[in-house]
């Protein structure tokens, strides 16, 4: 938690001060079930227009171990990004969610399957996108 203060040598970039924080709250109603809440606000470097990006994030996740063989993970998050001092006043909002499972047929093998989706809406339409990622993995302990 603190204050992010940016001063710029170039006259066309305004100085900017923002309150920054990161909070992560974990609640475990049972030893096999975990709920996680995250929230943050920060100022990060830009890879595109503007002098920096003011980012706010809020997310919620749930991990549940149904048995020694199967676990499930569900999450959702929203990220808001303001591109400060950008010529197009760009603002993005990205919502993402995911679902993943782990099947463990024995102590040495985990088979993982996941689906992650995200949608970014921007006031600059060329930055809008929809993404879907399907993952399949095998983890072997030796």
* CA-to-CA dists, residue 14 to 20, 46, 55, 84, 126, angstroms: 18, 15, 17, 9, 25
CB 89, CB 82: distance < 8 Å: no
Q: Determine if the pTM surpasses 0.85.
A: no
Residue 77's pLDDT band (cuts 50, 70, 90): very high
Where are the domains positioned within the chain? 2-140
Whether 133 has a pLDDT exceeding 70, the answer reads yes
Considering the chain, what is the average pLDDT of its residues? Answer: 90
pLDDT at residue 101 is higher than 90: yes
pLDDT of residue 51: 74
């Amino acid at each position: 938690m603190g204050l992010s203060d940016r001063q710029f040598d170039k006259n066309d970039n305004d100085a900017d001060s923002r309150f920054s924080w990161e909070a992560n709250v974990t609640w475990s109603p049972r030893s096999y079930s975990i709920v996680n809440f995250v929230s943050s606000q920060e100022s990060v470097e830009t890879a595109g227009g503007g002098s920096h990006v003011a980012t706010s994030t809020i997310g919620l996740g749930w991990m549940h171990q149904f048995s020694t063989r199967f676990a499930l993970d569900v999450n959702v998050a929203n990220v808001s990004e303001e591109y400060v001092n950008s010529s197009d006043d760009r603002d993005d909002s990205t919502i993402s969610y995911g679902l993943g499972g782990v099947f463990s047929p024995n102590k040495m093998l985990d088979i993982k399957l996941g689906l992650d989706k995200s949608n970014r809406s921007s006031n600059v339409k060329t930055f809008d996108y929809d993404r879907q990622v399907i993952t399949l993995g095998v983890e072997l302990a030796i």
